[in-house]
Amino acid sequence: MDKTINANFENFIGMSEGYSEMAYQLVSHVLTLGYAVMLAGLLYFILTLKTVSPKYRMSNILSGVVMVSAFLLLYAQADNWTTSFQFDPEQGRYFLNPNGDLFNNGYRYLNWLIDVPMLLFQILFVVSLTKLSFKSVRNQFWFSGSLMIITGYIGQFYEVSDLGQFFIWGAISTVFFFHILWVMRKVIKEGKEGIPEEAKKVLGSIWTLFLVSWFLYPGAYLMPHLLGIDGLFFNEVGVVARQMTYTIADVSSKVIYGVLLGNVAQILSKAEGYDFKKLQQM
């Protein structure tokens, strides 16, 4: 297999030096943790549905949708890892399985195609927009969210075979990414107007979490070349770092984000006279 094949760099490491026991298992465990957290999150979002007034429940429902799709696709991603590489007892390392599929991070991208619009819409069911139009924001989120992912999905195929294409598609994707950040900043700023101080603080944390966790994805895209083209990360350390980055980003941008939005919804529900704790005692 030469470097003209549009395969992810994980395969080239698995074909040349192979993976040590620790690197192989770390990736396998981190991928497993990823989908396990999504199932746990699903349970949380279902069980907390009634803690917010009916008006805000769409936020929990969208988190639930995100959990189901992420669970299934991350499960497929983990399965892809274990079937792509196999242990060689003679060398004591894992190498590309000649009878298996190649490894590809594309499952994730297709998961984002569902989850990114859902996560972006979700906040619109919690904050009240007074100046911005709900429809226009929703359409901008939907448009730029999908194009950011599709262009990145194409680009990631070229991370070894054609760096020109890899960087061009990555740059186009980044334009849509910045558009999303710009719209989200406006939504959060406007959402803070006229709500209790406590809810404002949580919305502030959501913006920080959003910025940090969403920037991890382009970081993972660039991982094989992060410390120089085919440089210090073009090895098993880069492979482990990439899967860890993705898992941290997924747990933050989907689960923690959903929990924090739920907290805002709880505060707002209470301020509007829906006090879950009191209802429980009745």
Interface with ligand RET (CB under 6 A)? 112, 115-116, 119, 148-149, 152, 155, 170, 173-174, 177, 214, 217-218, 221, 253-254
CB of 252 to ligand RET, least distance (A): 9
Amino acid at the residue 80: N
CB of 115 to ligand RET, least distance (A): 3
Query: d(Cα 251, Cα 240) in Å, to the nearest integer?
Result: 17
Nearer to ligand RET, 200 or 219 (CB): 219
Nearer to ligand RET, 56 or 166 (CB): 166
Provide the β-strand partners of residue 85. Answer: 96
CB of 222 to ligand RET, least distance (A): 7
Q: Which helix (H) or strand (E) holds 244?
A: helix 236-250
Q: How far is CA 6 from CA 120, 162, 218, 250, in A?
A: 31, 8, 19, 25
Q: Nearest residue by C-beta to ligand RET? A: 152
User: For residue 82, how many other CB atoms are within 10 A of its CB?
Assistant: 17
Judged by DSSP in three states, 94 sits in strand
Nearer to ligand RET, 160 or 268 (CB): 160
Work out the end-to-end distance of the chain between its first and last CA atoms, rounded to an integer number of angstroms. Answer: 68
CB of 148 to ligand RET, least distance (A): 6
Nearer to ligand RET, 157 or 234 (CB): 157
